[in-house]
Structure 1
Amino acid sequence: MSPDSMWSIGELAERAGVTVKTVRFYSDRGLLPEAARSSGGHRRYGPDALDRLHLIRSLRTLDLPVPDVERVLDRDDTLEDVVAGRLRQVGSRLTALRWQEAALRLLQDCGPEERAARLRLIGAVSVPPSTAPLAGFWRRWLPPRLPARLVSAIVEHSVPQLPESPTPAQVLAFTRLHAFVTAPCPGTGNGQPAAHRAGGGSPAVLYDGLVEAYALAAPHLRAGRPPRAGEALDCFVSAYARSCDTRDTPGFRRGLSGQLAADPRIDRYWDLTAEVTASPDPTPGVTHDWLRTALDDQLAGTAG
């Protein structure tokens, strides 16, 4: 085809069902190369340009940004990566919208006397919400110099997975949880409760053992069994004993019971975490209390 027998910019726009402005925009960006110039210096396009323009429109219909369209046109093998990235962005936007909807319903369903307080809680949390403040809370709460892999494991088990489609009650629980972990705590140097140090000795040995004990106790809690002596309790007590480089004896158990009763507590954190997740799985806080009660009941039975 000679340049004068090819399509002008207006003819290409008409065949594609778009405006001349659209064709010129993509041409100027280099997405729609012209095949030639007419004798008068006007752009001319061949049939390949129509196919390319249809592809561009399809990609733009999916709301792909122009830079991503350029990547796809330059290298066909990037289409899968671009689509995957776009899906992640859309998923994040949908999650944000669901949280916004639940937050709006939370405000709609409460009385005027509660609305201002709830609005302050909601306004302090990003959308979609981030669990980074919760992770930071635990990194401050845990004893210093724990191995990184142990800190990561504890944070993973202690920071709740947020629902993608929350209820208004879950939004309220998370905003209260966020307020709890970010509020200053008077009398502590780092603005948070003192680190849990029951047992003394080696914190790494203690927390390694606690993770194992919680895993052993979890099936009992899921089954609704009351606190009881057994492997989980023995593992729990052993963690404290080994961290102090001592033996698990009746005397040690009595001392540990009193020490645990004096531990700093964050029951509010675990209560709100359970509300946020609405999961049947027990939180570490609930599991810890179950084991403490099992220890106290065993000691009471022994004394009796």
Structure 2
Amino acid sequence: MFTSHDGLCGIGELAEKAGVTVKTVRFYSDRGLLPEASRSVGGHRRYGPDALDRLRLIRSLRTLDLPLPEVHRILDEENEAGGALEDAVARQLRGLGSQLQALRWREAALRLIQECPPGERADRLSLIGAMTVPPSTAPLARFWRGWLPPRMPARSTGAFLEVAVPQPPDDPAPAQVLAFARLSAFVLQPCTGAEQPQPEAHRTAGARGSAVLYAGLAEAYELAGAQLRRNREPYPGEALDSFVAAYVSAYSTRDTPDFRRLLAEQLAIDPRIDRYWELAAEVITPPGGRVEPTPGSAHDWLLAALDAQTATAQAQTPLLRADMSR
């Protein structure tokens, strides 16, 4: 392959055959990526027949933007059954995915500013400036950890966070960027009291009861979500029974008409965070798409079904008493 009688070549010939500069060959040699076969009497570098293929491989790996340590590991495993190349490519793809997501969010944010009325630009710039790109869900998770019952098992907390914290879309529309920015601002605003107001169920169910409650609510919300997707009006049925059963299990009590009435009254006065769920729905719903149910919208549907059921039961009670007195 090389023109010399000993089958070796100098740094200039190697660089010419590989289509790179002498400086490039020297750089890779000095970092141990391209070993020399020997040195001439005058101290010049000499490379063996495999140097050209190795140099071309190094160039290919660097073209993929793999860092030098990764390239070194791949070269070390070139003739082995190692997975250095596969691991490096997978890491590079993950990093590239994050970069692309950040670029898409920046593009959508720029379009948001470009398309909004001049009078709204200052407010939107302030919202976007307070948000990382790509956005982080950590503030949302912290908000819920402060809202959820204390000492609730980590597994139960994690399961709730999976459905309560909307994941930023990879390719957002400007409206979704605005909704996520507003959602981040919402969870970071200071509370009016010393602590976030908690529903009564959090104070009375205890740690174990809270885990049972939220596991049951997750099932009920899923059932209610299916009805919301069908545009069904709230009605008593499997979803409502599952909803009530979650509270029955948490309180270790019985499901009776009186319990349902008291539950409806308590839930009606519990603290609400409707704005969170409205914004969460905007984040996960692309413009023009069907609004996806959230735990908040499912809860409202179930509460409306419970209210309707208890109102009907109360209206029927006087009639039953009148019939019994005849």
Which interval holds the TM-score relative to the shorter structure? over 0.9
Moved more, 28-37 or 204-213: 204-213
Unaligned runs of 5+ in 1: none
Partner of 1:243: 250
State the alpha-carbon separation in 1 of the partners of residues 149 and 201 from structure 2: 10
**2:201 is matched with which residue: 192, 198, 209?**
198
Partner of residue 318, structure 2: none
Q: How does 1:112-191 map to 2 (within 5 A)?
A: 112-189=118-195
Instruction: Report the Cα offset of residue 245 of structure 1.
Output: 2.3
d(CA) in 2 for partners of 1:143, 1:3: 81
| Matched residue, 1:63 | 65
Structure 2 distance, partners of 1:205, 1:87, is 40
TM-score, with length taken from structure 1: 0.94
Q: Partners of 2:5 and 2:43 in 1: how far apart?
A: 10
Letter in 1 for 2:87: D
User: 1:272-291, CA deviations, whole angstroms, 9 ceiling, x for partnerless residues?
Assistant: 00000006531000000000
- After superposition, the C-alpha distances for 1:113-148 in whole angstroms (9 at most, x for unaligned) are 211111111111111111111111111100111111
How far apart in 2 are the matches of 1:120 and 1:253?
Answer: 45
8 A Cα contact 1:16 1:54, kept in partner: yes
Paired residue secondary structure (2:9): coil
The aligned residue for residue 274 of structure 2 is 267
Which residue does the alignment assign to 1:301? Answer: 312
**Aligned 1:212-291 pairs, distance under 5 A:** 212-278=219-285, 280-291=291-302
Task: Please tell me whether the aligned partners of residues 101 and 171 of structure 2 are also in contact (alpha carbons under 8 angstroms).
Answer: yes
Shift of 1:231: 1.5
Deviates more, 1:21-30 or 1:272-281: 272-281
* 3-state SS, counterpart of residue 201 of structure 2: coil
Q: What is the CA deviation profile of residues 200-251 of structure 1, one whole-angstrom value per residue up to 9, with x for unaligned ones?
A: 2332222222122112222111111110101211121122223222222111
Residue 83 (structure 1) aligned with residue 89 (structure 2): yes
Identity of aligned residues (%): 65
- One-letter code aligned to 1:61: T
TM-score (norm 2): 0.88
Check whether the contact 1:162–1:277 (CA below 8 A) recurs between aligned residues: yes
Shift of residue 171, structure 1, vs aligned partner = 0.3
Q: Distance in 2 between matches of 1:290 and 1:216?
A: 11
The Cα of 1:3 is off from its aligned counterpart by 8.4
Q: Which residue of 1 aligns with 2:319?
A: none
8 Å CA contact 1:3–1:37 kept in 2: the answer is no
Matching residue's letter, 1:16 = A
Q: Tell me, in whole angstroms, the C-alpha distance in 2 between the residues paired with 1:301 and 1:204.
A: 31
Q: Distance in 1 between matches of 2:18 and 2:211?
A: 67
Distance 1:3 1:96 in 2: 55
- When structure 1 is superposed on structure 2, of 16-25 and 238-247 the one drifting more is 238-247
- Confirm whether residue 292 of structure 1 aligns to residue 303 of structure 2: yes
Alpha-carbon distance between aligned partners in 2 of 1:213 and 1:111, rounded to the nearest angstrom: 42
4+ long deviations beyond 4 Å: 1-5
| Partner of residue 51 from structure 1, selected from 47, 50, 53 | 53
Q: Which residue of 2 is the match for residue 19 of structure 1? A: 21
- Superposed CA deviations along residues 44-76 of structure 1, whole A, max 9, x for unmatched, are 112211110000001111111111111111123
Return the letter of the residue paired with 1:6: L
